[in-house]
Amino acid sequence: MEKEIKLLSKVTVNHLFLTQFEAFRATLLSLRKRNPSLSLAILQAVVSQGGKIKEILWSDSCSSPSLLAWLSALVLLEFDDATKIDIFFLLLLHGT
């Protein structure tokens, strides 16, 4: 199981850096079933940085940091109620 989580984490982050958002979201949701805290941490990191992650290759489907942060925040809304409060404050503080 640990090897599977490690491999799935790498694939998730690869999709993030290639801004293949739908693939990122799908692998992230799969990771969530195996390690909810890790998938939550990845999404919170994206949102807290306003989507401004170094070395990302922007694509037509996800062309800016603010769009990446917004889409990631929407995925975070699928988590529990406490996370929804965190999202509001992360976006408020970052001005995204």
Q: What is the pLDDT, as a whole number, of residue 31?
A: 94
At 43, give phi and psi (nearest 5°). -65, -45
pLDDT at 21: 95
Residue ranges of domains in the chain: 2-94
Supply the pLDDT for residue 96.
47
Q: Fill in the amino acid letter for 22.
A: E
Interatomic CA distance for residues 83 and 13, integer angstroms: 21
pLDDT per residue, tens digit, the chain (96 aa), is 899 999 999 999 999 999 999 999 999 999 999 999 899 899 989 988 889 999 999 998 899 999 999 999 889 888 765 555 566 566 656 554
Residue recorded with tokens 């990446």: 68
Q: What is residue 18's predicted lDDT score, i.e. its pLDDT?
A: 94
Cα–Cα separations (whole angstroms), residue 29 to 1, 22, 36, 95? 16, 11, 9, 26
Is the whole-model pTM more than 0.85?
no
